[in-house]
Amino acid sequence: MARAKRSVSNMIVWVILLLLIIGLAGFGATNFGGSTSAIGRVGDTEITAQRYANALDRELRAIRAQTGQAMTLSDARAFGLDRVVLEQIVGLTALEDEADRLGLSVGDETLAEEISAIPAFQGLNGAFDREAYRYTLQQNGMSVTEFETRVREETARTILQDAVSGGIEAPRPFVDTLYEYAREARDFRWATVGPDTLTAPLPEPTEDELRAYYEGNETAYTLPQRRRITYAWVTPEMLVDDVDIPEDRLRALYDENIAQYVQPERRLVERLVFSDAQAAEDARAAIDAGETDFDTLVKDRGLTLDDVDLGDVAQEDLGAAGEAVFALDAPGIAGPAESPLGPALFRMNAILQATEVPFEEAEEDLRATYAMDTARRQITDEVERLDDLLAGGATLEDLAAETDMELGEILWSGQTAEGITAYDAFREAAAAAQEGDFPAIVELADGGVFALRLDGIVEPEVQPFEEVADRVRADWTEAQQRDRLLARAEEIAEAIRTGAPILSPAEAAPAEAAEAGDADVAPNGSQTDGPTIEETTAAGEAGQAELPTGDEATAGSENAGTEADAGATEAELPEAEGTDTVAAEDVSEDTPADSATDSGADATATPLVAALGADAVREETGILRDDTFQDAPEQLISTVFAMQPGDVETFATDTGAVIVILDAVNQPDPENDEAQAAKSNFARQAAQGYAQDLVDAYTQAIERREGVELNQSAINAVNSQFP
């Protein structure tokens, strides 16, 4: 029973803290002022308009905080966020209705005890302070009755949720499988096949080839829909050069902001207030005796360092305590000393020396500030006249002729962000404008204003070949090179798979020179990329080209596919500690070799290194599915984890192609400490997912049984209150 009581008690604490956080998150938001009190109900429980408005406001604020960008309700509705919020509120209300039907509640005595224990509701002496309680709730837009009712409802709902989802555990086989999947590692080698690996230059494209490529890729050369817009605008930056700046005004501006340019010596200070002088003296004595420290005293009071931080302060800011604090010549404790809140200890953390910027040094900044502020005021003062001119029938051309506004035209597609199109206000107005709309003055973020007119819409159109011929040639060349690089990569990969030798570009050149005139010219007249696998193999067997090393390379060409070569690896890879390794040689005795067979052999004898060079081949060990490393192509990891030991694969990238060889699969040790901790975490996450699924299913069953009624007109009324 005691354990159950503690569980409920802890639950109430978390519910109260959650309500306070929710309240603070919505602080400063305008309360829903509509006449509608409810937007719907689940069973006998109403969904208040204010609750929906608060939830919607919190969601918008959260998105703004995460993205750093303004999020209007219109933007949110485009992503369906308003429906998500509504579904969440309906689900919570359904659980509260069920808890009420079952008679779940929390007693007054327990509720009072827990509310009294919340630090936010305590006074300086650590005891419950009813005025602090009322004040905190008032600041969060809640009455005592409303808050306590919400605490009871939230607690009852949480008890019900825990009853539904409590005791859920993830199946052990599932956790083991998930761990093995997440911690299974790979050892592999990979290399990028770049343009320097091609043995022949790309041919010059013909006119027909370019036009065929252009016609097959018209989307790439299609201009998007564009809006033909005329605009008139003026910004402070346009006017600053014409602003008259009196010298005496700069002096006055310097004096008005003297605190910005002349600062006395300051200190970084924290203050901990006590209920009486004796308590402060006892705390100081305990610090001096080494029995405690300032941080511990703060924590024991249920406070954080942010709560006691005063920031950087001058001596006069500290009143009676200033002399004691500024007497310290190094970080330390001062006091007890009186403060506006009572006896306090002060911790000085750093000394900030006095600074002074003379007028002569500040003059340039003052001049720029004064000119910009004056220009902004001039524009603000002009807005009413600009509105009147437009209302009187003036065109944008008239504004440019009669005022400081400048005229401009733009063919705008939404893809540019320079000049006036860099302003959010312009882009929003340009996107919303309709033909025939009357221009209106709109403010810009920097204090400027503009008005625009939509003159027409230009539908998407394919640019003529002649206008994009250079782009087409560049794109064709890039595509051809990409295709040839992928083919070259596959040629090298096939040589590795079969054990056939392959020449590097440098080695292939003499062989090509020895061929008769057009030996490398294809029937269609285009040049080839160099010797094929068969030609290279024949060249190696006939001794026409010298491979990088001796015995091993020769053996590879004469006896490709033998058991000795099949078991070789390019380099001995260290096994990851605590793992079982499935190496390439364990897969099949017939697996082709891509390695030196003796420890003293030259590793460059392998086809991969011979073709690309030792510096181009990278060796990775112990790589997990979620690992990332520098310069790795995006699909490298997914490709590796789809391979079996000994496999050789290729794939294209934006700039070339990649060859990858999987050397080993390392199974994790399921019994070490890391494994146990990871499995525990996986089990907890899976159990939480199962529990949430159960709560969701239970909630949906309640909604079906009790019925959900929504008033769309009331919902629209709430939505209309948001910008």
Alpha helices for 197-288 (secondary structure H)? 207-216, 236-239, 247-256, 258-261, 277-288
The reply to whether 2-168+693-719 and 265-353 are identical in fold is no
CA 264 to chain centre: 41
Average pLDDT over residues 243-252: 82
Tell whether the model's pLDDT for residue 535 goes beyond 80: no
Q: Which of 473, 542, 539 is nearest to 508 (CA)?
A: 539
What is residue 681's predicted lDDT score, i.e. its pLDDT? 86
pLDDT digits (tens, 9 = 90+) for 654-679: 878 999 999 999 988 888 888 888 88
What is residue 110's predicted lDDT score, i.e. its pLDDT? 74
* Tokens 């998105």 -> residue: 63
What is residue 236's predicted lDDT score, i.e. its pLDDT? 92
Pairing outcome for strands 45-48 and 449-458: unpaired
Alpha helices for 623-662 (secondary structure H)? 636-640
Tell whether the model's pLDDT for residue 552 goes beyond 60: no
Average pLDDT over residues 1-19: 47
Average pLDDT over residues 512-536: 43
Grouping H, G, I as helix, E, B as strand and the rest as coil, residue 97 is helix
pTM for this predicted structure: 0.48
What is residue 701's predicted lDDT score, i.e. its pLDDT? 93
Q: Tokens at residue 645, please?
A: 């030991």
Percent of the chain clearing pLDDT 70 (strictly above): 80
What is residue 75's predicted lDDT score, i.e. its pLDDT? 79
Calpha distance 81→392 (Å, rounded): 42
Calpha distance 67→31 (Å, rounded): 25
Tell whether the model's pLDDT for residue 516 goes beyond 80: no
Cβ burial, residue 124 (10 Å; 0-12/13-18/19+)? middle
What is residue 144's predicted lDDT score, i.e. its pLDDT? 82
Q: Which of 610, 596, 644 is nearest to 188 (CA)?
A: 644
Q: Indicate the CATH number of 265-353 among 3.40.50.1000, 3.30.70.100, 3.30.980.10, 3.10.50.40.
A: 3.10.50.40
Mean predicted lDDT score pLDDT of the chain: 79
* Tokens 């808890």 -> residue: 99
pLDDT digits (tens, 9 = 90+) for 287-312: 999 999 999 999 988 888 888 999 88
What is residue 115's predicted lDDT score, i.e. its pLDDT? 82
Give the number of other CB atoms < 10 A from CB of residue 114.
Answer: 20
CA-angle at 246, arms to 244 and 247, nearest 5°? 140
* CATH number of the 2-168+693-719 domain: 1.10.4030
Tell whether the model's pLDDT for residue 645 goes beyond 70: yes
The answer to whether residues 94 and 699 touch, using CB atoms and an 8 Å cutoff, is yes
Average pLDDT over residues 528-538: 42
Q: Tokens at residue 349, please?
A: 């953390």
Grouping H, G, I as helix, E, B as strand and the rest as coil, residue 73 is helix
What is residue 577's predicted lDDT score, i.e. its pLDDT? 43
pLDDT digits (tens, 9 = 90+) for 453-508: 999 999 999 999 999 999 999 999 999 988 999 988 998 899 888 887 666 555 55
Tell whether the model's pLDDT for residue 693 goes beyond 70: yes
Flag the least confident range among 248-257, 476-485, 618-627, 700-709.
Answer: 248-257
pLDDT digits (tens, 9 = 90+) for 199-237: 778 889 999 999 999 999 999 999 988 999 999 999 998
Calpha distance 127→115 (Å, rounded): 11
* Domain range annotation of the chain: 2-168+693-719, 185-203+471-667, 226-244+373-459, 265-353
Q: CA separation (Å) from 308 to 36, 295, 348, 357, 720?
A: 43, 10, 12, 31, 42
Residues 6+ apart with CB under 8 A from 40: 46, 47, 90, 708, 709, 710, 711, 714, 715
**DSSP state for residue 28 in the 8-state scheme:** T
226-244+373-459: CATH topology is Chitinase A; domain 3 (3.10.50)
Calpha distance 595→197 (Å, rounded): 21
- Give 168's pLDDT tier (boundaries 50, 70, 90): confident
HSE-CB for 559 with a 13 A CA cutoff: 10
Q: Which of 408, 109, 406 is nearest to 230 (CA)?
A: 408
Q: Which residues pair with 40 in a beta bridge?
A: 47, 710
Q: Which residues pair with 443 in a beta bridge?
A: 449
